[in-house]
Structure 1
């Protein structure tokens, strides 16, 4: 995108928010970089320079605009649409892998050498993994400076910096203000409502339809782990440094996010996982333009554009839940999962609602006596085999997973049919082209719309929807009256 100068110039001159996060504009006369939708008067074309990432703009010597805050742009949709090395690396960096394991850890997860990863990231993004992680730390630091009253020393280490000096230098370089000056611009900062609680806004590309997104999460929520309360979806989070609780509330131009964390070092990871859960980095205009070309889907796209694919904050958790939900109703799946949570989940304290546990991890589920599961023997075997396989690290369902390899390894497990695998691909792996033609709701919708109703014929028809078939599923489900299609009362 950043190499198409003419297209970038048009986006900047029209202040097109759709391209926020796709590229960044450096202005040579001011030394600042902006998002395309920056509200200031667009600079002269001769003074514009375009960069594929905030890290690349920072490395070129530009500092962040104080008006449009380019560091807070929605992420590039490319990293959620693609499954190549660069996209997988970007998803892992967003999940905090550099701060936890360094570049060697990133290389190990991806199965490539450090040199190969450095070369490919620099070629496409203009910056290496350390610079990209540094830009992310800068954004986390700004959030904490502006939304909390934490001491600067605490913010430095919570943001992932190894020293106070590195924290101060980065904030000054990126924002052209010291940390103290940055906090002074927003008064004394917003004090947390309770200790360890932060409130922030998660941006997205419009349009966004919250009905199916939050409706699905609420309707399928596991008791004790998830709940819908006072107009917000709430759930527990298993994070590297301790448990957390998040509350996500839809608003017209953002998602309100309140995080209660045991350790503030998990802030950037929690934000990344919430964005992934709600598919906030998607490009809904591109998705809807393609799906609108099918006459059967066009009326539903026109009526309620901007549907997202509800994902998960934990790929292994959802895979276990997908097996529990095989061939049973949504209510039955919630009941079975709730029993597993109450018996084997890790307890948490929720002072604001009814959340009680973390969902048990795969290692814990692998130790559960199969006879305690109140469902058929075949599904017990599938569940315990999957749990053992995940606990052994033989299948990667995390942010940096190889989608094709994960499908292949799931397919050899007993009882893992196409519906389960594609459901996991859609919500755990985040593959935007995952498709479940055997799903009862999809087949009923296809029949209602005059589309082929058999799985094979519907799959052939769906080739025209690629690479957005997971979004087509959301529109197909929208033809029914199920609770997943509407916000809870």
Structure 2
């Protein structure tokens, strides 16, 4: 990945926090790497290098800045929305696939050879899958060291390291201190679980996001008493998270059955809230259209309510066909077992009476679950979005609206146009849009976000 030196240098001169996570600044005279907005550095041009990822900077021999904490910045918005192989690989690495299945497992999931995958990631990000996973393990370890009272040996294996020596060596290389040195600050964990700050880029329409989640909450899985919380089905066990918006971040309180699930739990919470988006880029495109300019002004930083589980969103989309949101939530709640939304195998085991819906819709759900079990439909973070949509459309009972809605929320596709959605069509007509598909061309590549604005405007144009 080529980084324009002049553009990056101008960014660090202005300390523009919008670019935190987009690239890494490394200073040769100090041997440290920082986020672009770091207040501690005023480097000369000849002493500066720029890297596309923290892993690449670490590979270059740099250690993380202890002041700006570049490993705690929001993720890159480019890789968050890209649907190509690199974007898919990064989402799977973030979900812990390399830690669980190694690089061979990652390559199998993506359908490419290890060699090709390593070459492509190194070209684009300056580091291969092992180095990227190693950087993530270091971040996870630091989080556990600073926020729990666990022993360092427990933390090493919970973060995914294969040995204590590997853990110690990595922490020293990345942070230039021993693991015990990171524990000098007080821990923030308590009876309520592990408390973490999930940063985002300003602006963030927190009210709109949490209003949506509360309005679509399914009893038994989600709770809206005080703060929004929900259960999580994770690779090594179950968990629960409470999410609360704060200044510059979302406070997440995690309770995990297995601490090895910390990294995937954080990745899924960030994905749910669309925290790695670039709101400035989205708002600039949509505000250029006079039809949406007012909504963008009134609702800056609108985000897509995504998902912690793609299969769950797909099921809820099918359940919600042709009924109200409240009714759909009530029907979905009857599928819940032991505080968890059923995964595909569990749904196939449910008796007919658990499906409070027409027979054809029940059979559509079972067909979807069987397709996921058989591997014909992939709704995981690293899924090929186009292939997933085609596979969904091949299932009887799933049409373009449902497939598009799943792509928008479960797969994080940023450019979905739901032109068959009745509410969106009526809102567009009230706004004077007579040909929605043609008009929506000006919203590319952020039509998914435009759909959120139209849904929001449906309440104010009636």
TM-score (norm 2): 0.97
Which of these residues, 313, 324, 328, is aligned with residue 308 of structure 2? Answer: 313
CA distance in 2, matches of 1:191, 1:205: 25
- How far the C-alpha of 1:252 sits from its partner, in A, is 2.3
Q: Deviations over 1:420-439 (max 9, x none)?
A: 00010011111011221111
Match of 2:196 among 194, 200, 210: 200
| DSSP 3-state at the match of 1:71 | helix
| Kept after mapping to 2: 8 A contact 1:77/1:281 | yes
Q: 2:425 aligns with which of 440, 443, 449?
A: 443
1:433-453: CA deviations, max 9, x gaps? 12211112212221221112x
Change over 3 Å in CA distance of 1:372–1:25 after alignment to 2 = closer
Question: Is 1:398 matched with 2:380?
Answer: yes
- After superposing on structure 2, the runs of 4+ consecutive aligned residues of structure 1 that deviate more than 3 Å are 369-372
Whether 1:289 aligns to 2:284 is yes
Q: Helix, strand or coil: the match of 2:243? A: strand
Contact 1:290–1:465 (CA under 8 A) maintained in structure 2: yes
Greater shift, 201-210 or 471-480, is seen at 471-480
Is 1:334 paired with 2:291? no
- Spell out the pairing of 1:12-411 with structure 2 (5 A cutoff): 12-184=12-184, 186=185, 188-194=186-192, 197-230=193-226, 232-341=227-336, 345=337, 347=338, 357-370=339-352, 372-411=354-393
Once residues 481 and 178 of structure 1 are traced to their aligned partners in structure 2, the CA distance between those partners, rounded to angstroms, is 55
Q: CA RMSD in A?
A: 1.2
Query: Which digits, 9 at most, give the CA deviation of each residue in 1:376-429, with x for residues without a partner?
Result: 232122112112111222110101100110011111110111110001001111
Give CA deviations for 1:86-127 in whole Å, capped at 9, x if unaligned.
110000000000000000000000000000000000011110
Distance (whole Å) between structure 2 residues aligned to residue 236 and residue 191 of structure 1: 19
- TM-fit CA distance, 1:191: 4.1
SS of 1:66's equivalent in the other structure is coil
Contact 1:277/1:313 (CA < 8 Å) preserved in 2?
Answer: yes
C-alpha separation in 2, matches of 1:283 and 1:227: 29
- CA offset at residue 46 of structure 1? 1.1
- Residue deviations 1:299-327, cap 9 Å, x none? 11012210000011000111111111111
Matched with 1:487 is: none
Gaps (5+ residues) in structure 1?
348-356, 483-489
SS state of the match for residue 375, structure 1? coil
Distance 2:135 2:210 in 1: 30
Q: Distance in 1 between matches of 2:363 and 2:98?
A: 37
Q: SS in structure 2 opposite 1:297?
A: helix
Question: What is aligned with 1:485?
Answer: none
- CA distance in structure 2 between the partners assigned to 1:2 and 1:43 by the alignment: 21
Partner deviation per Cα, 1:212-256 (whole Å, 9 max, x = no partner): 2111111111101011121x2100000111110000101121000
Q: 1:80, 1:431 within 8 Å by CA — same for their partners in 2? A: no
Give, in whole Å, the separation in 2 of the partners of 1:118 and 1:110: 12
Q: Give the structure-1-normalised TM-score.
A: 0.92
* Alignment check: 8 A CA contact 1:237 1:358 kept: yes
For the Cα contact (< 8 Å) 1:206–1:306, is it kept in 2? yes
Bigger CA drift: 421-430 or 209-218? 209-218
Q: Is the 8 A contact 1:208 1:306 kept in 2?
A: yes
Supply the distance in 1 between the matched residues of 2:183 and 2:433 (Cα, whole angstroms): 56
Taking the aligned partners of 2:150 and 2:349, their CA distance within structure 1 comes to 41
How far apart are 1:364 and its partner, in Å? Answer: 1.6
State the Cα deviation string for residues 183-230 of structure 1 (Å, max 9, x = none): 11x1x4334225xx2001000011000122111111111101011121
Partners of 1:180 and 1:306 in 2: how far apart?
Answer: 39
Shift of 1:371: 5.5
- Name the CA shift for 1:35/1:377 in 2 (closer, same or farther; >3 Å): same
Q: 1:459 aligns with which of 437, 447, 451?
A: 437
- Distance between the aligned counterparts of 1:326 and 1:389, measured in 2? 20
State the 1:177 CA deviation.
0.9
1:474 aligned to 2:452? yes
Aligned to 1:351: none
| Matched length | 460
In structure 2, distance between residues paired with 1:480 and 1:409: 31
Equivalent position of 1:350 in the other structure = none
Contact 2:424/2:458 (8 A) holds in 1:
no
